[in-house]
Structure 1
C-alpha cells in the first residue's frame, strides 16, 4: 500500500516562501525533518517526508489553526503526472491503492488566474470520477467525515490529498468569501468580519459579540472596522485624527476622538479592542502588550503589517515577544494568528484574556 508522505498546504500566491519557512520551523520543533517544495506564485507548498514515512502524525501535530500562512492542510501523496488521453485511471488507481475512503470529493485549484482555466476540465471529470470511486467503494457514506481533495496545478498534473473534520478549512480552496456590506465605509470591513469567523465559533457570537458591549477602534478612519462593531450593537470609541464616515457617525453609537491611537487610554475596561494601524509590527506589538497587561480589554483583533522579506520570521518573533511580555506580567491569554483571505501584506492576530 502506498503511503501519503506529504503535507499539501494552500496559501495566497506570493507567500509560498513564508509558508515553507513556517513548515520547516514548526516541523523542526516536532523533530521531523521534511523537505519543502515551493514554487513562487504557485499558491501552494508541498512539505515532503522521506518515502514510506506517513504524514498523518505531522498533520495532527500541526493543526491548521496553528499555522499562520496556510489556508488548507492535507495529508497527500506526491503529484501525479497524467496522460491527457486518460486522466481518470491514474487518479482512481492511486485512491484504490491507498485504501482511503471518504464521504465527499472536492476538486480544487490554486488561487491564480492561470488555474481558473481548469474549471471546465474539473466539471467534465466530476461525474465519471465520482462514479468510478463509488464503484470501488472509496466514495461512500459513513467514512468518518473524511474528504478527498483533487488538487489540479495543471491540466496534466494533479495531487491527491485527504482532510479530516476538525483539522481543515470547510471552505473550498481554504478561502472564506464574504459579501461586502454596501453600507460599510471601506472594504477593509471584511478583514474584521473574516477574523470573527476565523477566531470565534459561530455559536459563541451572541455571547462574545453582544449588543451593548464597549469597544475601541484604533486607527478607525473612515470606519470600516467601526462599522462591524456598530453592526453588532456595540458602543465604540473611534480613535483617529482622520475623518470618520458621516453616515456611520449619525447613528449615535460612535464617539470619535481625534487622538493618537498609540497614546490613547480607555476610561474603563472594554470588551473589545480592534486595530488596523499601518505601522511597524514591533510598535503595534508593544501597544497591544500595554493594553493586555493593563487588562484594558477582554479580547483584541489587530493586524501586523509585514515586511516584504522574511515575513514568517517577523511574525514568529513578534508573537513570541508578545507571549513573553504577557507571561512576565502574569497575564494568561490565548493568542492566534492567521493570514486571512482579505489580508494582503499583513496578518491578523486575535488575543483573548483568560481572566
Structure 2
C-alpha cells in the first residue's frame, strides 16, 4: 500500500455544518442535546473556522431546526482518508452503505470557508460522474421521501459519506438558504429578515401573517433594510430610530419615521408585528420583545440577539429562559424559534409569536 491508497472506514455519529467561527458553540449545543437524548456521543472534531463539527457515536440525529447553530445535521456512515488524486469515484462507491438501497438524491458539499470554496469547481465536475454511477448501480432516483446521500469534503484529501432524512434535515445544499440582494433595498439586512420569514414561517403562515393592510413597528430601523422587507409584503411600518432612513423607505407613504428611543417606544394601539435589530445585550432585547407580546402591543416578533465573544451559548440560553419565564408568568401561550441564519453574523435570529392554541413550543 502506498500513501495515496484510500482507506475507507465505516463510521457513525453526526456531521453538522455551521458558520465558521461558531464550531465550539455548535459542538457544545449538539453534545448537550445528545446527553438529553441519552445518547453516547463525544465531540470528535470542532476545529475553529472549519465550518463543520463531527460527533462520534451511535445516535439518531435531532431535527436540524431544533439546533440553533447547526445549518445541517447528518448521520455519518463512512470516512475516506486519504482521497486519491485520480480515481476518487471508486472509493466513494465502495463506501456506500448497504441501506438504504436507493437514495432520493445526492449532494456534494464542502465547508462554507475560503478553502471550501476552492473545492466547488471540483464538485461541479465530479457531481455528474457520481450521479451517473449511482444511477447505473440503481442506487439513485427513488421517491422524494427516501433518504438523501451527502458526500462532504472537509478538505481535498478527505471525503465523508452521510445520510439525511429529508423530513429531519435542511432542504438546501450546505444548509444554506441562498437569496439574491434586491437592487433597491437600503441594506443587506433586508436579506436577513427575508431568510427569517422563510425559516420560521410556513408558506401558509406567511400568507396569514404577512399581507396587505397589516401594521408593524421596526425598532432600530435605520437605514431601513427590515422596513423595506416589510413594505414589500404590504405592511405599513412605524420605523423607530434616531438615525436616517435611506433609499425608497425614506419617503415611502407607508412609512412613519419616528426619531425616538426604541426601548421606550410603544404604539398607541396594537400592531401585528414588531421587529428589532438593535445592538444591545441579548437579555435586554429578549426581555423587551417578551414584554411587547405580554403587553399585547404586537402579536408577532422577529428580532436579533447579538451574542458576546465568549460564552455565547450560555448568554443565549439565559436570554431565552428570560423570554419563557416572562411568557409563562403571564399565562401567554407562544411559539419560540431560534436559529443562526446564513445572513447572521455574531448573532442569532428569534421568532416569538402569540399562539391561540394551548400548546407551547420552543424550536
**Is TM more than 0.5 here?**
yes
Residues 1:67 and 2:63 are matched in the alignment: no
Residues 1:22 and 2:23 are matched in the alignment: no
Q: Are the counterparts in 2 of residues 293 and 329 from structure 1 also a CA contact under 8 Å?
A: yes
Q: Are the counterparts in 2 of residues 291 and 297 from structure 1 also a CA contact under 8 Å?
A: yes
Q: Are the counterparts in 2 of residues 3 and 98 from structure 1 also a CA contact under 8 Å?
A: no
DSSP-derived class of the 1:114 partner: helix
Q: Which residue of 2 aligns with 1:349?
A: 350
Q: What's the CA shift for 1:174?
A: 1.0
Q: Which residue of 1 aligns with 2:3?
A: none
Q: Are the counterparts in 2 of residues 146 and 162 from structure 1 also a CA contact under 8 Å?
A: yes
* TM-score (norm: length of structure 2): 0.91
Q: Are the counterparts in 2 of residues 222 and 245 from structure 1 also a CA contact under 8 Å?
A: yes
Q: Which residue of 1 aligns with 2:39?
A: 32
Residues 1:211 and 2:212 are matched in the alignment: yes
1:11-160 superposed matches below 5 A: 11-36=18-43, 37-49=45-57, 53=58, 55=59, 58-59=60-61, 62-81=62-81, 82-142=83-143, 144-160=145-161
Gaps of 5+ in 1: none
Q: What's the CA shift for 1:290?
A: 1.1
Residues 1:10 and 2:17 are matched in the alignment: yes
Cα distance in 1 between the residues matched to 2:287 and 2:322: 9
Question: What is the aligned-residue RMSD (CA, Å)?
Answer: 1.7
Q: Are the counterparts in 2 of residues 217 and 237 from structure 1 also a CA contact under 8 Å?
A: yes
Distance 1:142 1:178, change over 3 A: closer
Q: Are the counterparts in 2 of residues 145 and 165 from structure 1 also a CA contact under 8 Å?
A: yes
DSSP-derived class of the 1:349 partner: strand
Q: Are the counterparts in 2 of residues 4 and 75 from structure 1 also a CA contact under 8 Å?
A: no
Q: What's the CA shift for 1:292?
A: 1.6
Q: Are the counterparts in 1 of residues 272 and 300 from structure 2 also a CA contact under 8 Å?
A: yes
- Deviating beyond 3 angstroms after TM superposition, the runs of 4 or more aligned structure 1 residues are 96-100
Q: Are the counterparts in 2 of residues 8 and 44 from structure 1 also a CA contact under 8 Å?
A: yes
Distance 1:3 1:118, change over 3 A: closer
Gaps of 5+ in 2: 1-8, 357-363
Distance 1:128 1:18, change over 3 A: same
Superposed CA deviations along residues 26-85 of structure 1, whole A, max 9, x for unmatched, are 111222231112111110001111xxx3x3xx32xx211111001111111252112324
Q: Are the counterparts in 2 of residues 273 and 300 from structure 1 also a CA contact under 8 Å?
A: yes
Distance 1:323 1:78, change over 3 A: farther
Q: What's the CA shift for 1:3?
A: 7.0
Superposed CA deviations along residues 272-296 of structure 1, whole A, max 9, x for unmatched, are 0100000111111111121121121
DSSP-derived class of the 1:101 partner: coil
Q: Are the counterparts in 2 of residues 302 and 350 from structure 1 also a CA contact under 8 Å?
A: yes
DSSP-derived class of the 1:216 partner: strand
Cα distance in 1 between the residues matched to 2:104 and 2:344: 32
**Paired residues, number:** 346
Q: What's the CA shift for 1:308?
A: 0.8
